[in-house]
Amino acid sequence: MAKEHKRPDGRGLTELRPMTAKVGVIPNADGSAMFAFGNTVAIAAVYGPRQLHPQHMQDPASGVLRVNYDLLSFSVYDRKKPGPSRRSQEISKVTEWALSPVIDLAAFPSTVIDVQIYIIQADAGTRTAGINAASMALAHAGIPMRDLICSVAVGKQDKALVVDLTKEEEDFEEGEGATDFAVAKVANSDEFTLLQLDGKIQPEIVKEVTRIGAEACKKIYEVQKKALKEVIEK
């Protein structure tokens, strides 16, 4: 059954959209990067570490990672109302959780590392593209990290598992409908830092979702590494 599923853009079930990545796209930031899955384009800028204000929010034992995710008004077909929303707050939070485990925040007590993520064009998978861009931007800023974080959405279309869904695929309604499972993992370990399910999935399939996600993350890691190397070699 799964093998018969045809994707609207003709991709294989576990084929990612074409990826583009570039490091150093915002000269005034301490670190920056762009990451795209097809028509989904994310830009991330890192500022800091710098002293956290107000002072009562400072943690003398650790720095704080503060992410602000924003889907820009004209990034989507139906103009999105500008400004923060429940959705943007949720994505900012899960992005902080996805990235924090690889960052040595204890090395920067009482400080904040600000990560601004802008989605300038959206065709689903924006939280995952944002995490990929932010991970590269943090490395570019010279923040001590034990590895990069790679992220992708694995989806279920009726009974077939597919990787890196487009908006059209997220809206799939046939059979069991569409499920979207965003995963993020530490590039060179089996540690997952985000597993976020939107929809329904049988518990016995979750292992296969993480396996497919981990395979896709290997390809994402290569793209991230290549973009970082291009800047270091310059």
What is the footprint of ligand UDP within residues 121-140 (CB under 6 A)?
Answer: 122-127
Tell me: does residue 96 bind ligand UDP (CB under 6 A). Answer: no
Minimal distance, residue 179 CB to ligand UDP, in Å: 11
Please answer whether residues 200 and 179 qualify as being in contact, where contact means their C-beta atoms are separated by less than 8 angstroms. Answer: yes
42/143 with CB nearer ligand UDP: 42
Count the residues of the shown chain that bind ligand UDP, applying the rule CB under 6 A.
Answer: 15
The percent helix, strand, coil of the chain (3-state, each to 5) is 35, 30, 35
Half-sphere exposure of 159 (CA within 13 A, CB side): 4
Out of 80, 140, 156, 185, name the contact with ligand UDP by CB under 6 A: 80
Instruction: Point out which span in 19-27, 71-79, 98-106, 203-211 binds ligand UDP (CB under 6 A).
Output: 71-79
Between 70 and 123, CB nearer to ligand UDP: 123
Q: At what angle do helices 126-140 and 86-99 cross, to 10 degrees?
A: 50
Given the complex with ligand UDP, which of 141 and 194 has the nearer CB atom? 194
| Binding of ligand UDP by 150 (CB under 6 A) | no
Q: Does 120 bind ligand UDP (CB under 6 A)?
A: no
Residues in CB range of 137: below 8 A, 6 or more apart: 23, 29, 31, 32, 33, 44, 45, 46, 115
* Residue 79 lies near ligand UDP (rule: CB under 6 A): no
Residue in 153, 142, 227, 150 with CA at minimum distance from that of residue 197:
153
> Is residue 87 within the footprint of ligand UDP (CB under 6 A)?
yes
CA atoms lying within 13 Å on the CB side of residue 69: 25
Question: Shortest gap between Cβ of 222 and ligand UDP (angstroms)?
Answer: 22
Residue 177, both tokens: 């409908």
Q: What is the C-alpha separation between 68 and 166, in angstroms, rounded? A: 23
Kindly identify the residues of this chain, within the stretch 1-60, that bind ligand UDP according to CB under 6 A. Answer: none
Residues at the site binding ligand UDP, with contacts judged by CB under 6 A: 71, 76, 78, 80, 87, 122-127, 167, 170, 180, 198
